[in-house]
Amino acid sequence: MDKSKVPVDQRAALSLLLDDHRALKKLFKQFQDAKDDSQKASIAAETCHQLTVHAQIEEEIFYPSLRGVSDKLDDMLDEANVEHAVAKELIAKIESGDKEMLEAHYTVLSEYVGHHVEEEENELFQAVIKAKVDLTEVAQQMEGRKAELIGQPA
């Protein structure tokens, strides 16, 4: 999804989320290319932290700001929340520190989140743009909350 093509009312909010998605995809790739277990463990920890912050911003601010816009959007948000819950279970498994299963848990998490991100960008974000939801204030709240959460240790 091209940020420069997003209308100005939605641009800041969607750009923040798109940047997070790019950063996560980069981490997934880094994990695949990692040479040893300690590298993998630290990339996994960073992924869990970033993903938790991202999901929290969506759940606390972004998704609620879209509630009631349309039935179609509400259905998408319900589905997204269920997907977040599944991702959190995988994050909890990774953070529990089971070294034997790290590779398997991380691989499934990256595939699962990859799918979720595609749906957000190709369906949810497109619907938000189409419905012309004004997200300028929402973007400021999201930026403030992100700054707050990113400073906290994982």
Contact positions vs Fe ion (CB under 5 A): 58, 120
- Minimal distance in Å, beta carbon 38 to Fe ion? 28
- Minimal distance in Å, beta carbon 78 to Fe ion? 12
Query: CA 76 to CA 15: how far, in whole Å?
Result: 19
58 or 142: CB nearest Fe ion: 58
21 or 105: CB nearest Fe ion: 21
Query: CA 14 to CA 11: how far, in whole Å?
Result: 5
22 or 29: CB nearest Fe ion: 22
Q: Which residue do the tokens 């798109």 mark?
A: 18
Contact of 43 with 27, CB cutoff 8 Å: yes
Q: 77 Cβ partners below 8 Å, 6+ apart?
A: 63, 66, 67, 124
- Minimal distance in Å, beta carbon 55 to Fe ion? 6
